[in-house]
Structure 1
Amino acid sequence: MRKATLIVLVCLFCIPLFAQISYDEIKSSKLNAVRKLKIKLPKDYDPSSEVKYPLIIVFDGDYLFEPIAGQVDFQTYFDDMPSSIVVGVVQGSERRYDGYCDEVTGLPKESGLRFHNFVAEELLPYLDNRYNTSKFRVAVGHDLMGNFINSYLFKEDPLFNAYVCISPDLSGTVRDYLGKRLEFFKDDIFYYMATSDKDLPYIRQAVLNADSQISQVNNQNLTYYFDDFENDNHYTLVNSAIARSFDKIFELYKPLREKELEEKVLPYEGTLDEYLVDRYDRIENLFGIKKPITEQEFEKVVKVAEQRNDLESLEKIGKLAKKLNPESLLGTYYLAQYSEKIGKTKKAKKLYESALTLNDVSHIDRDFIFSKIDELTIADTDEQEEEEDNEEN
C-alpha cells in the first residue's frame, strides 16, 4: 500500500515538473562551444528575494536531470531538504570527451581538463551571478562522470560540498588514493557512493575497494555514506541511489524526529534552548540558508524538557521562542508554564492573560489557557482567604 502511495505521489510531482524546467545555453571559451543547460528553480523562487538556495549540478544531465529534479520536488514537499536550484549539463555525444581522464592518474586531461575548467571557471560563476545560490553545492555523476566529479576533490579548494558518485568508473590515482584524499579536509565534506550486486563487475570491484579505504578514514569533517543495492543493475540502481544520497546529505536539515529526540536531545548536556540554537546555526553555516525553528519543534523539545524534569530548559525555551517570534503566544505560554511550576502563580496568571492577546499557534488550545487562568484565580483566592484566616487566628 505504501509503495503504491509513493508511486502516485511521484506521478503527481512529475505532472508539473516539465512546466517548471527551463533551458539555457552558455558559450564557453574553454570548450570553444555552446553548451545546453536544463534548469529547475524552486517553485517559490523570487530573484529579488535575499533567500539563497543550494546548487545541484547534474552531470549526465541528458538522463539524470529529470529523476533528480523529481526527487528534489518530492523531498522538499516533506521538508526533508531545502528548496534547491537544479542544473543539468547536457553532454550528449561529447560525454566521452568531457570525462576523458588519464589512465595513470585518473584525473582529467586534454578534453576532460577543458571540461573540468569550464565547470569551475565558467559554469559555476555564470550560475552564481544569474541566480540566488547559496554556498552549498552538490555534484552528481554516474559511471564515467561519477569518476570525473572526484577530480574536484583533488583541488586545493574543492568546488563542491557534496559528491554523489553513482556506480563510478573509478580509475588510476583517484581509485587508489580516494580514501587518503578524504582524510585531509578541514571543512565539512559529504561523500556518497553506490554500487549493486548486479553492477558491471569491474566497476563493482573498484567501488568496493574504494569503500574499504574510505570506511577507514578518521576525519570528523567527512560524512560518508555507501550503498550496495541488491537486484539492481548498473542503470536501475540510479533511482535508489538518488533518493538515498539526498536523504543522507540533507539529514541535518530535516525536522526534529523521534530518533534525534531520543539519542541527542534527551541526553544533551546543557539547556535545550542551546541544542536548538546550535542545530539551526549548523544548518545555516552548512547550507547557507536560514531555517526558522517551527512551533512543532519547540513543542517536541518542551516535552523532552518535561521528561527530564528540566525547568531551566523550559524557561529558556520560552525566552527563545518569545525572542524569535514576539507576536506569537508560544514563548509567553511556556514562560507562564515555568512560573506556574515554580509556584509563582500570580506571575503565571499574568503571563497566561498576556498570551491571549498574542497570535494563535496551532497546537495550543486557547480554551485550555482560559481554564488555567480560572484555576490560578481560584488558587489565588483560596490562598488569600487562608492568609486572612491565619491573621485572624
Structure 2
Amino acid sequence: MTPTATELEPRWAEHGAAWRDPAEVVSGWEGIGSVDPDLLKSRADRAFWELLDRLELTLIVTREYEHLVVALSVEEGKPVQSHLRLPHPSGLAVDHERGIVHVAATRNPNQIFDLEPVCGALPRADMPYPGELTGRPLLPARSRFLPGALYIHDLALVGGKLHANSVGQNAVVELLEHGGHRLAWWPGSVEREGKPDIGRNYLQLNSIAAGPDLEGSFFSASQAAPSQRRPGHKNWPVDGRGVIFSGATREPVASGLTRPHSARLHEGAVWVDNSGYGELCRLEGEQFTTVAQLPGWTRGLAFAEGIAFVASSRVIPRFRQYAPGLDVDRSVCGLHAVDLASGQIVGSVRWPYGNQIFAVEALPRDFTLGFPFRSARPAPDRTRRLFYAFDFQGEQR
C-alpha cells in the first residue's frame, strides 16, 4: 500500500530541513555546526598578540584530532580567533601566487581542500549581504578526493606544484591539478628492483622541507629503512631512530631524531621538530643543534622575521612510548613564538582542552584574517548570507 502524502509529510519536512547549515555542507559532515565550546577556549600571553599585531600576521593551525582548522590574528588591536571544521585536517601549504591555502584532510578517503579569501559579495536582491565585508575570510573553493591508502600528512609547494607525503606509500606524491596523484620521490631504502615498495607504511615518512625542486628538498622519517616492526606496532622502537633524507641522494643526511616532524628549509638550513623530545632543532652538517625546548610534542613549524612559530601537542596515552623525552602528563596543546637568535619563547597561546596540532602556516594579515566562524554556535544569519553570495574574484559591492 502506497503511503499518502499526509503520512509522508513529516519525513519530507525532515529531509527538507537537512543540510541547511553551511558548516555541514562545507565539511560534508551532518551535525558538525555546533562546536564543543571548550575546544575554542584559549589562554595567551599579551606578548603573543602584540607580536602578531606588529608582524601583521595571521596564523593558520590544524588541530587534527579535533577536526578544527584555527586562525589567529589581530583586528583593530583586538585578538581574533576563528575556525573551520574539516575532517582530521593535517598538512598545510600556501600558494601565495595563486592565493590558495591547501589543507589536507586525512580520513578515508583523503581530501585536499583549496581555500581562497573572499573578495566581495554577489549583488543580490533576495538576500543582500548586510554591511561591509571585512577580513577576506577563507572559504573552500574546491575539494579533491584521494585514496585513503595515501595517508597524506604534510603538504608543500615544490617547483610550483603541490606535493604531499604519502605516508602509507613511503613516498612523496605530486597532487595533480585535474585530480589524482603520481609518485614523485621515495627513499632508496624502500626501492626493490627499481621500484618503491608502496604496499604499506614502513618508515612514517611525514614531512617535506621544500626546496626549489625535489632534489633540493629534504624529508623526515621515523626510521631509515623497513624493519620487522612497523609504525603502529606497540613495540616499534623510535628513540633516536629518526632521520632526514636528502632529496638528491635519497639517503639519510642526519640521524638521531625521535619521531621527527615538520622539516622546513629556512635561510639555507634544515629545521625540524624533534617531536619525541619536544625540541626545535637546526641541522648543522650531520648533527642537530637544539634551539629551543617546548612544553609538549613538537609538530607544526613556520617562520616570520626572525621568529619560529612552533606548536606543541598533548600526547595520547596509548602513544606514550613515542615520547621518551617528554613529561607526558605536563605537555600542553599550544603555539609558541621562539626568537631564533636566543632560542627564548617570547609569547604563547594555549588551548587547555586541546589535543594534537599538526601544521602551522604564517600569512600576511592582508591576505586574510581567518575564517567566517568565530564562536562555537551554529552560523548566524550574517555567515549564512556570506556563504550564499560570496565572490572570490570581484571587488566589494
Q: Which TM-score band applies after superposition, normalised by the shorter structure?
A: under 0.3
Bigger proportion of residues as helix:
1
Higher relative contact order (CA 8 A, sep 6+): 2
Give the TM-score, by structure 1 length.
0.27
Higher Rg of the two aligned structures = 1
